[in-house]
């Protein structure tokens, strides 16, 4: 028996799309996050779902559509994101995950929270003034269940 990917465990593309569609419907009404996403592309939720799906071991839909890890980092540059916005993003996403009934077993939730903690901290760091543009050859992250070897595996 092989260990399922996080992508498979959470329910695949359909469930990830549902998560990010529901989440980004809530964002405009949030006083802390609404201004950050005021100019959000109508396909933003779909792009994020593809990115996270690929990171969690699903199809390479994000890179097949021309995306890259460097591109995702570049989307956060010069946005001056705060730790308060980062924490609110995670809290609202986890509320949404509960509402759409993503798996709530501790192992999955630890991996999910671990990835979003890591990713949102990267977003805040890369949103600061003076951060150099990312190099194009950055590997896509790959997030897994955790030890051995830690959860982040460069592909």
User: Tokens 């998560």 correspond to what residue?
Assistant: 19
Quote the domain boundaries for residue 24: 6-154
**Which 3 state secondary structure label does DSSP give 143?**
strand
Average pLDDT, the chain: 90
Question: Quick one: the chain helix, strand, coil %, rounded to 5?
Answer: 55, 5, 45
Report the domain count for the chain.
1
- pLDDT-derived band of residue 147, with 50, 70 and 90 as boundaries? low
143 with 6: CB under 8 angstroms? Answer: yes
- Supply the DSSP symbol for 40: -
Q: Which of 18-22, 76-80, 136-140, 141-145 shows the lowest mean pLDDT across its residues?
A: 136-140
User: Furthest-apart CA pair in the chain: how many Å?
Assistant: 48
Tens digit of pLDDT for each residue in 56-73? 999 999 999 988 888 888
The answer as to whether 34 is a domain residue is: yes
The answer as to whether 1 is a domain residue is: no
- Give the CATH number for residue 90: 1.10.490.10
In this structure, how many other beta carbons lie within 10 angstroms of the beta carbon of residue 154?
9
**Which 3 state secondary structure label does DSSP give 141?**
strand
The answer as to whether 32 is a domain residue is: yes
The answer as to whether 134 is a domain residue is: yes
Distance, CA of 21 to CA of 24 (rounded, Å) = 5
Distance, CA of 39 to CA of 65 (rounded, Å) = 22
């Amino acid at each position: 028996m092989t260990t399922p990917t996080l992508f498979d465990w959470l329910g695949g593309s359909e469930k990830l799309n549902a998560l990010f569609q529901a989440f980004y419907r809530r964002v405009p009404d949030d006083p802390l996050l609404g201004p950050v996403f005021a100019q959000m592309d109508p396909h933003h939720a779909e792009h994020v779902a593809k990115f996270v799906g690929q990171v969690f071991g699903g199809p390479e839909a994000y890179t097949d559509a021309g995306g890259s890890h460097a591109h995702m980092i570049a989307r956060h540059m010069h946005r001056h994101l705060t730790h308060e916005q980062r924490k609110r993003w995670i809290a609202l996403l986890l509320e949404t995950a509960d509402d759409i009934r993503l798996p709530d077993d501790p192992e999955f939730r630890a991996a999910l929270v671990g990835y979003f903690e890591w990713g949102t901290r990267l977003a805040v760091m890369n949103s600061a003034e003076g951060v150099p543009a990312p190099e194009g050859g950055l590997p896509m992250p790959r997030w897994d269940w955790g030890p051995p070897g830690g959860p982040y595996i460069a592909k």
